[in-house]
Amino acid sequence: MQDKYSEEMSALLAGNLSGSMSRRDVLKRASALGLSASMISYLVRSNGTAAQDATPVPDPTAGRTIVVPQGLRTDLGGTRISAVLADPTDPNGPFLEAAIAKFGEATGITVEFIRGETSATDRLQSYRQQWAGQSGADVYQIDVIWPGVVAEHAVNLLPTLQDLASQHFEAIVANNTVDGALVGMPWFTDAGLLFYRTDLLEKYGLQPPTTWAELTMAAQTIQDGERGANPSFNGFVWQGNVYEGLTCNGLEWQVSNGGGFIVEADGTVSVNNPQAIAAFDRARGWVNTISPEGVTTFQEPDSFNIWIAGNAAFIRNWPYVWAASQAPESPIVGKVGVSPLPKGDGEGARNADTLGGWQLMVSKYSKNQEAGIEFVKYMCSPELETAFAVERSMLPTIASVYDAPEVAAASEFIPRLKDVFQGGAVARPSSVTGEQYPEISAIYYTELNQVLTGAKSGADAAAMMESQIKEALAGSDL
Amino acid sequence: MSQQVVAAPVAKPKWRRWGGASDAPESAWGKARERLAWTLVAPSVLVVAVVALYPLFQTFRLSFTNQKLASNDPWRYVGFAQYEFLLRNDGFQRAFRNTVVFTISSVAIETVLGVVVALIINSQFKGRGLLRTAMLVPWAIPTVVSARLWEYMYHGEYGVLNDLLVNKLPQLIDWIPFVGGTLASIFPSDGIAFTARPNTAMAAIVAVDVWKTTPFMALLILAGLQIIPGDIYEASTVDGASKWQQFWQMTLPMLRPALLVALIFRTLDAFRVFDVIYVMRGVAVETVSLAIFAQQTLVNEDRLGQTSAASVIIFACIGILVLIYTRLVRVEEA
């Protein structure tokens, strides 16, 4: 609950700062959080860029670009299923409702749209409780790191949807496959990316960095130059707090340095190797030089706030930063570039961008599995992913959608990311570690944070990670 | 919840004395009276049993199993294995040490400041009522909100505290010879990320707890001060006692019962600390508390048995603290 509270608080502050929330929304959410009147009035006053106060009306144009795919079954008419597809704050709601309505018209299947918990940790907990009672919804939205955890409760989609699966990005399909069973169909995706200030690179005569060494140098040069006029300027901001986001950052550092995937696909614990350790120590070197000392407590909103205020030259973050930076009221609009994250310099150096995103699964306890599978087939079809990208800027999981002319017409950003998902995207070791993943990730980010704060050396932390992860995988029965 | 259960043995003898053997005669009237007494307390006993004793019993029972929260795997009783595992576990030991450090330092500072504040607002001056109300504001703000506020104030980049220490204060004291330049020279010019540094994180969190809870301590101690009769001060003044002597030899000894009650409340609360640490520093090893450790064991690792064992250990520690304090109170009364 605390976790959710603080997430809601950050969402409120971030939404308010970025102006993506209307005044009414800010008021409503702030009073729900129990903020004092003076705090709320401060929020509303500072919300200069927010939309005009208007009662949100259901968007009648939502879903206007949806083309219903061919070949849906019509013999399941009259069936009712339920699907957990979003959280209560998800702005995609109207689109999803429109998509469900069109699905109903085409197949006669009624889908009840359920909104789940906002915090991913809470959401998984509630799914698990429903499954422990062998009950719940028919279709669930699942995070990219959950396949291993949810596998025993999911219908294998491979026998029925193999053709569709083969159109989706291989890395994501592989991530969603546990012991040969396709646990979830990729729906939309996310990846860690490097955003940079094109105006500042130009000012200091620099090229967009392709290696971490170049990035370090460029960030230092720009920071030294800008600090005179702006003491709060930072070269590079990212996420170093003790949470799942640090696992995403850390995986990028070590994979790009040829340092392996923490736990390899065959189950070997590989984290304790010189290239991974070098990557950890390099990140430690950024703290208090090109990155602020407090970066070891940053989550996404913290680094984003510094970036959007124009106080950073580089940021590692998820794709949503693009839309927010290019919004008309953003102080850095038109000054932003994006690329895959840099390569390291060790043997096997490559681009590495940690995969995020959501999949759809059908519950094994559903009494209407066929209707559920049909709904998944519809939602994850190229047609629906195209409409989702055009109307909502959600990133498709099908390569051909990135080339679709209507996607290119709607966004100059999405087509650029095709290479990221085909080449650099890296999945966290969640499928191979199964139910143990949350614990293993916690070991990794707890140790790595201590390297960043200087409490431990990279080598000590890597050795500790190795022994603890091995212990966790051995599966103590306590 | 835990206080009630542990305090029960203290209340028991009194109840027996009142209801039966010692003074009441073994008559039909006495029995009827006892039955009536039982009937009257039955509802509250039932409520306590359902909402406190049953969950407590379940927690004890679960701590001897290897049950998972959301898994259909079979489970079994494992004896004391969970306790053995926890007591040898690095993470648990660290959380224990952090909790002890947090409890001792926050309660000690809050008690001293609480006495000072209570003495001030107990004296006669204009606007005392207003001050008493204003003093309670930090206590009235929900902890999660105040922890968030402080997190922003401590922030290394845009926190007001760094702005004061780096920019405003050095300018203000610039003109003082010798001292003027010192602050600027010892304090780093790009500020300190108070919650990020391993060696300042705990102190920063204790400071927030002190800010928030001192008013509560002051209120409890004020209640103790107000029952001290004023005439003994007059008498001692006539006898030539100084204010200092009055404080140490009259006020403090007479305040001890109230102080002990305040200490019990605060120590128990501090030992179970979750919110302020979780909001400000999450699960970072420098500050993680026992309650956060137990919560993580359940939410992140799904280990219901282990988290129950951790909760029982927290319960036992609190139980011991209560026993020590109640013993002190009784010595006081005797």
pLDDT value of residue A346: 76
Cα separation of A251 and A247, whole Å?
6
Chosen for mutation from B73, B149, B157, B303 (greatest number of chain A CBs closer than 10 Å) is B157
Give the ipTM. 0.79
pLDDT value of residue A189: 92
Type of residue at A426: V
Say if CB A299 and CB B197 are below 8 A apart.
no
Is the pLDDT score of A35 beyond 60?
A: no
In this complex, which of A131, A454, A478 lies closest to B70 when CB atoms are compared?
A131
Q: What is the mean pLDDT of chain A?
A: 87
In this complex, which of B157, B192, B279 lies closest to A232 when CB atoms are compared?
B157
**Contact call for B157 and A306, based on CB within 8 A:** yes
Partner B contacted by A207 (CB < 8 A): no
Residue at token pair 């971490």? A212
Write out chain B residues lying below 8 Å of A454, CB-based.
198
**Would you place residue A58 in the very low, low, confident or very high pLDDT band (cuts 50, 70, 90)?**
low
Is the pLDDT score of A6 beyond 70?
A: no
Percent of chain A with pLDDT over 90: 64
**Would you place residue A52 in the very low, low, confident or very high pLDDT band (cuts 50, 70, 90)?**
very low
Task: Show pLDDT as tens, one digit a residue, over chain B (334 residues).
Answer: 344 444 444 444 444 444 444 454 567 888 899 999 999 999 999 999 999 999 999 999 999 999 987 676 789 999 999 999 999 999 999 999 999 999 999 999 999 999 999 999 988 888 888 988 888 999 999 999 999 999 999 998 888 998 888 878 777 777 777 766 676 677 777 788 899 998 999 999 999 999 999 999 999 999 999 999 989 999 999 999 898 899 999 998 899 889 988 999 999 999 999 999 999 998 999 999 999 999 999 888 889 999 999 999 999 999 999 899 888 877 766 6
Q: Read off the pTM.
A: 0.80
pLDDT value of residue A62: 85
Cα separation of A330 and A328, whole Å?
6
Task: Please name which of A81, A71, A77 lies closest in space to residue A107, comparing C-alpha atoms.
Answer: A77
**Contact call for A453 and B303, based on CB within 8 A:** no
In this prediction, residues A179-194 reach a mean pLDDT of 94
A42-56, A137-151, B87-101 — which is least confidently predicted? A42-56
Tens of pLDDT, residue by residue over A424-460, are 789 999 988 888 898 999 999 999 999 999 999 999 9
Residues 6+ apart with CB under 8 A from B57: none
Q: What is the DSSP letter of B25?
A: -
pLDDT value of residue B9: 45
- Give me the count of residues in chain B: 334
Cα separation of A306 and A313, whole Å?
10
In this prediction, residues A95-102 reach a mean pLDDT of 95
pLDDT value of residue B280: 92
In this complex, which of A131, A306, A478 lies closest to B306 when CB atoms are compared?
A478
> Can you say whether the dihedral through the CA atoms of B162, B167, B173, B178 is positive or negative?
positive
| A421–chain B nearest CA distance, Å | 29
Tens of pLDDT, residue by residue over B2-56, are 444 444 444 444 444 444 444 545 678 888 999 999 999 999 999 999 999 999 9
Partner A contacted by B301 (CB < 8 A): yes
pLDDT value of residue B8: 43
Better pLDDT: A9 or A112: A112
**Contact call for B300 and A294, based on CB within 8 A:** no
Say if CB A321 and CB A307 are below 8 A apart.
yes
Tens of pLDDT, residue by residue over A402-424, are 999 999 988 888 888 888 887 77
Is the pLDDT score of A50 beyond 60?
A: no
**Would you place residue A89 in the very low, low, confident or very high pLDDT band (cuts 50, 70, 90)?**
confident
Cα separation of B31 and B93, whole Å?
53
**Contact call for A453 and B197, based on CB within 8 A:** yes
**Contact call for A35 and B71, based on CB within 8 A:** no
Tens of pLDDT, residue by residue over B132-162, are 888 899 999 999 999 999 999 999 888 899 8
**Contact call for B286 and A455, based on CB within 8 A:** yes
Task: Please name which of B296, B315, B317, B316 lies closest in space to residue B307, comparing C-alpha atoms.
Answer: B296
**Contact call for A293 and B197, based on CB within 8 A:** yes
Task: Please name which of A432, A354, A425, A363 lies closest in space to residue A148, comparing C-alpha atoms.
Answer: A432
